[in-house]
Amino acid sequence: MTASSSSKDVERKDSSQPGEYIPYERLKVDSDDPAAGVDPEKRESYLSPDEFMELFGMDSEQFYELPKWKQEKHKKTLNLF
């Protein structure tokens, strides 16, 4: 296991299966087809790395280094909180 894959496991600890991603449209608070079994406080952790980068403009490591209030602001803007 490489360092990058172990950090992904830590980031995705709330999902049932690491590497299983859920599309943004199903993670939004107002989704017409919400994904089941998603931790509502960690919706962003289910995004693929590419979709995360596209939506947040940074990778997940950079995001989780932000202060909690900035994380929440980004998530509210994207309707993930």
Q: What is the mean pLDDT of residues 35-60?
A: 96
Q: What is the DSSP letter of 34?
A: P
- The amino acid sitting at 68 is K
Q: Domain residues of the chain, as ranges? A: 3-77
Would the pLDDT of 6 be above 90? no
Would the pLDDT of 8 be above 50? no
Query: What percent of the chain lies above the pLDDT cut of 90?
Result: 74
**Architecture, CATH, for domain 3-77:** Orthogonal Bundle (1.10)
**pLDDT per residue as tens digits for the range 51-62:** 999 999 999 999
Would the pLDDT of 16 be above 70? no
CB-based burial of residue 5 (10 Å sphere; 0-12 exposed, 13-18 middle, 19+ buried)?
Answer: exposed
